[in-house]
Structure 1
Amino acid sequence: MSRYVNVTPRPRSSTNENETESMETESAGTVPIEGIERESSVDKSESSDAESANENDEKSEDERETESGKSVDFNAYDPHTWPDVLPNYFIDQEWLIYSESSDLVYCLYCALFNRKANSFSALGRCYSTWMNINRDVLIHESTLKHHESFKTWIELRKRLQTNQTIDSHQQKLLIKEIDRWKELMKRLVASIQFLAQQSLAFRGHSSTLYDKNNGNFLKLMEMLAKFDPVMADHLNRATTTNKRNYLSNRIQNELIECLATSVTEIIIKAVTESKYYSIMVDYSTGKGVTNSIIAELNKVNLKLQDMRGQGHDNGPNMAGSIKGVQNRILEMNSRALFVPCACHKLNLMVNDTAKVVDSTRHKFFNTVQKCFVFFSESPKCWAILQEMADNGKITLKNVSTTRWASRENATKCRLMNLPKIHAAFCKIANAPNPDDNSYDANNMARKISKFSFICSVVVWHNVLTKINIVSKSLQSQSIDITQCLKLIGNLTSYLKKVREGEGEGDGHNTIDKWFDSAKQIQSQFHLEPNALDNMALQERLDRRERDDSDGDDIRKFRISFVYPILDAALSKLQERFDHLTELEHLFGFLFDLHSYSISLDQCHRLETALTSKTGGSKDVNATELFDEIKSFQALIDNAGEKSPLEFLYKIYEFGLVPIYPNLTTALRVFLTLPVTIASAESSFSKLKLTKNYLRTTMGQDRLSQLATISIESELLGDISHETVINKFATAKARQVFFQ
C-alpha cells in the first residue's frame, strides 16, 4: 500500500468555513493517507507555490506537454494524477500507516520492533501533530532506531516468505496435526452417517475400545483400523494415552446433531426460496399439536402467513371444524387450506361399508381372522396346512384392524387357497385322537364351506382389489388434487357399472362372473363329513344341492351379497370426498389451461380463497389472472404440456415469470397442496426401526436427529464432510469474541 508524504495533510474535521474554502482552491494541498485526505495549513511559501501551480494549470495543453515531455490529464483533486505531474513532491513510504479509528499515524517498523517510545511507535501513542508532519516524517526516517527496525522487518519478512522463522518446525508439526485431525474427523462423520442412514444402534454395554460388547460404532472403528493407517494410528494413541480420542458418546451425539442440522438447513433453505409451503401432521391432541406447529415454525424462521396448505388425517381432533388443528390454523391464516388425507378417506370408506353390512363385518372378516389365528398358533396345524400345497407353500395374511384397504391381501390368500384350507381343516377334524383343535377345525370347516362365505370372499376380493389399486396410486408424491379426484371418479364409475349389471368389456355381466367363480370354488371342495357331525353336514350338502338347482340363486346372490356392499361403498365415497370436490372447484381450471371455457368467475373464486381475512392481502388478482391465462393459451396450443407442473416448468424455463406473475403464483399454490400424508406416515416406519425395544433409553432429541438423517438420507449426498466438520469445530470452539 502506497502512502505519499512531503505534503502537509488537512487539519481535523473542526476546520472552519474559511479553511474549507481554502481547501477547495488549493491545487496540490492534499495527501491520501489510508484513504483520508486533510487540508494543509498553507504558509506564505506554499501559497506562492500554489499560485504558480494555478498558473501552470492555465497553460495550454501543448505547453504542458512540452515542459513534461508527455501529455497528462491533471486533476488537482484526483490523487491518482499527482505522481505523474509532481514526481518530485511525492515519496512512496510503505512504513507509514494511518488509523482512522484513532486518527493517528504509525510507523510500522517501530511499532513492531522498537521497544523505546518515540512519536511514531505504539508506545509513544503515535503521531498526531499534523502541523509538522512533513518535518517529523523526514527526521524519523533518518533516525538510527528506524533503520534498525527496518532491517529487522526485512529479515522477518524474508523468513516468513521462506518459512525459516524460529517456530517453523513447530508450525510444520501444527499443520501436520491439523491435517491428521481433519482426516480422522472425515472418517468419524462418514461412520456416523452410515450407521444413522441404516438405522443401526451406535452403543453397546461398554464404551471401551476392543471390548466385546462396545457397540456398532466402536466396532466399526476397530474394523477400519485394520485397513486404514489414519484410524490405526488414532486407536493406538487412544489406547496408550489418556488424551481425548473423540470416540465418546458425547462426541457421537454432537456429530449426529451437526448432520441433522445440516439436513434441516437444506430443507429450510428450499422452503424459504419457494416461499409457499404446506405441512403434513399426524395424530395428536388438537391443542397440543397446534402449539407444536407454531413453535416449530418459529424455531426455523418460517412465516405462518406463507403456509398455503395443511394435510392431516381425518380424526376429529385434527380435522374437526371447531377445535381441530386445521380450524385453529385457519383462524390464524385463512389461506392455509385444509386438505384431508385421501388415503385415510378411502380406508374409512371401506370401514364404513363393512359396518353398514353387519352380516359381512361380523361373520366374514371374523371368520377370516379366526382362520389365520388357528393355523398360526399351532406349528402342527401349520405343518398340515403346508402339506396341502401342491408346490410351494400356502401363506395366510393377518387381517389389519386399521388399514381396511390392505385386507385385499387377506381375501386374496383365502380365495386362491380356500379348497386347500378346507381340506386341512377336515384332516385335523378327522384326526384319530380328537382334541380341542379337532373340534375347532370341524367348526371352521363348516363355516368356510358355506356358499355364503365363498360368495363373500369373491365379492370382497374384487372390490378390495380395485380399492387397493387406487390407494397405492394416491400415495404417489407427485399426485395432485385433480388426479386424485380422477382416480376416485374411476373407482365410482366401476362400482356403478357393477351395480347396474354392466360388464367389463368382454360382454359378460360382472356379477354373473363373480357368481360363476364362487360356484367353481365350491366345486373344488372335497367334502368328507366329520365323524363328529356326519348327519348334520350331509343335510347341509343335500339342501345346498337343491338350492343350486333352482334358477333363483343369482338373484339371491345379488340381493344378499353384492348390492349391500356396492350401495354402501358408493354412498360413502360421495360423502367422504366432498371436501376434495370443493378444492377441485377452486383450482380445477388450472389443470386444463388449454380449455377456452375458463371464465372470470373461476378466477374470482380463487382470488377470494387466496385473500387474507385479517390483512386483506391477495396472492392473485382475478382480472390479471384471467388475462394472463388467455395470453398463456397461445403458447401452449401446440405444446405437449398437459399438467400444472409442466405448465409451471415452461414458465420458468423460458423466463416468463415477470409476464405471468399471477398465473405462476396460482400454479405454485395449487401444486403445494398435499393430497395425502402417506409420505409423513412413512416416517413412522423409520422411527420404529430407529427406536426399537433394544434402544428404549434414547432421548427425544437424539431420536429426532437420527430419524431426520435416516428419512432424508438422499440430502446427505449434498453435504460435504468439511461442512459438518466446520460446524462441529464452531460448536466446540472455546474462544469468545467481544465486540
Structure 2
Amino acid sequence: MTIIIRCVNITKSPVEVGEYFLGYVPVTGSTASSLRWDVLKKYIPSLTVKPLSTRKWESRIDAIRPIRHQIGEIYVALLDISSNESFDAMVRHEAECLASAISDFKFLCCLITWHNILNHINVASKLLQSVVTNLSSAINELKGVLKYLESYRSDDGFASTITNAKKLAEILGVDSYFKSAQNVRPRRQKRQFDYESEDQAVQDPKTRLKDIAAQQLSDELQVLSHSIDETVSLTPLNVLQHVVEIGIDCYPNVAIALRILLTLPITVASSERSFSKLKLIKTYLRCTSSKMRLVDLAIISIEHKLGENLDYKELVPEFAAIKARKV
C-alpha cells in the first residue's frame, strides 16, 4: 500500500492540482503451488489464471477474463489434477469440487454477467486514471457505464446472457438448464418490538453550525453564478481559478468546497504506478537495500519533477557534512 496526498495549489496561476508520493506501507502476500501451476500452463496457452487482489481494482476483470474465454481448458486442467495420483487427496478433492462448480449452468450465467459488467467498468476506470481527473469529469465518464447497466438489466440483456452461457455449456459438455434449489428450512428471526420513541430534531450546536455553513455556501453560489462567463467551460478548476482571481475572502465557503471536490480520490492509479516504479527500482542488485533507502529512491524517482529543480551544489556539501565521520 502507498501513502499519496492530493492537494490544490492556489498560489500559482493558473491553479494546479497535484499528487505527491510519501512512502509505502508493507503488506504480506502468498504464492500458489508450482506443480498445479505447471498443469494449468500445459492446457492454457495464452491467458493465464490470475488471483484476485484486494489492492487493485483491475484485478477483478483480469481474474475473470481467462475463465470467460478459456473455461474449457481450465475445466480439463482441473479434471487432470483431480485424477493425477502425484497430488495428495486434498488437492485432488479441491480440483474435483472446482470442476463441478464451474460446470454449473448458474455459474456460467454469473460468469457472463460479471465479465460484461466488469469489462465496461474497467474501460471507464482506465479513462479515469489520470492525475488531472476530478469528480465532475468522473461523473461524465460514469454516465455511459450507468446507461449500459440499465440496458443490461432489461429482458434483452438477460436473453443474451442465457445465449452466451449455453455456448459455454456446449464447450464443457454439460446441461444448459438451472438446477432446482434444495429445500432449506428458513432461519427463524428474532422479532423486534416497537419500543423506540419517535425521532426528534437534533439540537446539537455542531449540527446547527453545519446548517449555517450550508446556507452561506448556497448564498455564495447564487452570487457567484452571476459573475461567471457562461461561454467559458465551467469545470471545477476553472471556477476555482475565477474565485482566486476575484478573491477567496469574497467566497470562502465556495473555495473550500471546490478544493475538497478537486482533491477527492477517484482512482487508485497513482498507487499502482508507484508499485510499478518500485518494481523497476528494487532489482537483484538492490535486493539487500533497507526499507528507508528504497522509499527514498522511490520518492526521488516518482517526484522527479521536483528533483530537477533542486540545487545540488548546496545539497551535496550539506549531505557530506551530515555523513562526515570524525577521525
TM range (shorter): 0.5 to 0.7
Hey, what's the Cα distance between the residues in 1 that align with 2:24 and 2:318?
37
Question: Residue 304 of structure 2 corresponds to which residue in structure 1?
Answer: 713
User: Is the contact made by 2:75 and 2:99 (CA closer than 8 Å) also made in structure 1?
Assistant: yes
Going from structure 1 to structure 2, the CA distance change for 1:726 and 1:454 (only over 3 Å counts) comes to same
Matches within 5 A, 1:87-126: none
CA distance in 2, matches of 1:436, 1:732: 59
One of 267, 273, 280 as aligned partner of 2:11: 273
Seen in structure 2, the aligned counterparts of structure 1 residues 609 and 689 have a Cα distance that, compared at 3 Å, is: farther
After superposition, the Cα gap between the structure-2 partners of 1:467 and 1:377, relative to the gap in structure 1 and judged at 3 Å, is farther
Q: Is residue 630 from structure 1 mapped to residue 245 from structure 2 by the alignment?
A: no
Question: How many Å apart are 1:687 and its aligned residue?
Answer: 5.0
Q: Which has the higher contact order (CA 8 A, sep 6+)?
A: 2
- Is 1:643 aligned with 2:235? yes
Amino acid at match of 2:268: A
Indicate yes or no: 2:60 matched with 1:407: yes
* Number of aligned positions between the proteins: 276
Within 5 Å, give how 1:66-215 maps onto structure 2: none
Q: Distance in 2 between matches of 1:699 and 1:447?
A: 43
Whole-Å separation in 2 of the counterparts to 1:725 and 1:648: 38
Pair 1:622–1:728, CA change in 2 (3 A)? same
Q: Residues 463 and 692 from structure 1, CA distance in 2 versus in 1: closer, same or farther, beyond 3 angstroms? A: same
| Residue type of the alignment partner of 2:296 | Q
Any idea what SS the aligned residue of 1:657 has? Answer: helix
Whole-angstrom distance in 2 between the partners of 1:282 and 1:697: 15
Aligned pair partner of 2:264 in 675, 680, 688: 675
Q: Hey, what does 1:608 align to over in structure 2?
A: 213
1:408 and 1:468 in contact (8 A); partners too: yes
CA shift digits 1:192-232 (9 cap, x unpaired): xxxxxxxxxxxxxxxxxxxxxxxxxxxxxxxxxxxxxxxxx
1:462-541 alignment to 2 at 5 Å? 462-487=116-141, 491-499=145-153, 501=154, 509-525=156-172, 527=173
Shift of 1:402: 4.7
**How far apart in 2 are the matches of 1:411 and 1:684?**
25
| Letter in structure 2 aligned against 1:385 | Y
In the TM superposition, residue 608 of structure 1 has moved relative to its aligned partner by 1.4
Equivalent residue, structure 1, for 2:254:
666
Q: Aligned equivalents of 1:732 and 1:429: distance in 2? A: 63
Q: Are the structure 2 counterparts of residues 473 and 658 from structure 1 closer, same or farther at C-alpha, using a change threshold of 3 Å? A: same
- CA separation in 1, counterparts of 2:73 and 2:291? 50
Question: Which string of whole-angstrom CA distances, capped at 9 and with x for unpartnered residues, describes residues 133-183 of structure 1?
Answer: xxxxxxxxxxxxxxxxxxxxxxxxxxxxxxxxxxxxxxxxxxxxxxxxxxx
Q: Answer whether contact 2:240 2:255 (CA < 8 A) is retained.
A: yes
Give the drift of 1:512. 0.8
Structure 1 counterpart of 2:49, from 388, 396, 419: 396
For the residues of structure 2 that align with 1:513 and 1:498, how far apart are their CA atoms? 9
Contact 2:136-2:235 at 8 Å conserved across structures? no
Q: What SS is found at the alignment partner of 2:65?
A: helix
Q: For the aligned residues, what is the CA RMSD?
A: 4.9
1:120 maps to what in 2?
none
Q: Which amino acid aligns with 1:645?
A: L
1:404 Cα deviation from its structure 2 partner: 5.7
Distance 1:419 1:402, change over 3 A: same
CA distance in 2, matches of 1:479, 1:606: 30
2: CA distance between counterparts of 1:624 and 1:379?
62
Other-structure match for 1:657: 245
- When residues 689 and 524 of structure 1 are mapped into structure 2, their CA distance, relative to the original with a 3 A threshold, is same
Contact kept? 1:628, 1:662, Cα under 8 Å:
no
1:523: Cα distance to partner? 1.1
* Structure 1 spans left out of the alignment, 5+ residues: 1-266, 285-371, 503-508, 528-540, 560-604, 611-619, 735-739
Q: Is the 8 A contact 1:429 1:442 kept in 2?
A: yes
Cα distance, 1:730–1:282 mapped onto 2, change above 3 Å: closer
- Rounded to whole Å, the distance in 2 between the matches of 1:622 and 1:442 is 62
2:74 aligns to what?
A: 421
Deviation string 1:435-464 (CA, Å, 9 cap, x unpaired) is 547955555443332223322221221232
Provide closer, same or farther for how the CA distance between residues 379 and 396 of structure 1 changes in structure 2, counting only shifts above 3 A. Answer: closer
Taking the aligned partners of 1:463 and 1:710, their CA distance within structure 2 comes to 36
| Structure-2 separation of matches of 1:411 and 1:478 | 30
Please state whether the residue corresponding to 1:631 is helix, strand or coil: coil
The superposition leaves residues 243-295 of structure 1 with CA deviations (integer Å, 9 ceiling, x where unpaired) of: xxxxxxxxxxxxxxxxxxxxxxxx99x958359999988998xxxxxxxxxxx
Kept in 2, the 8 Å contact 1:606–1:622? The answer is no
State the SS of the aligned residue for 2:48: coil
Unaligned 5+ residue runs, structure 2? Answer: 1-5, 26-30, 182-209, 323-327
CA contact (8 A) 1:385 1:394 kept: no
Cα distance in 2 between the residues matched to 1:445 and 1:469: 30
Aligned to 1:580: none
The equivalent residue for 2:192 is none
CA contact (8 A) 2:109 2:165 kept: yes
Deviations 1:5-30 (A, max 9, x none): xxxxxxxxxxxxxxxxxxxxxxxxxx
State the distance in 1 between where 2:17 and 2:77 align. 56
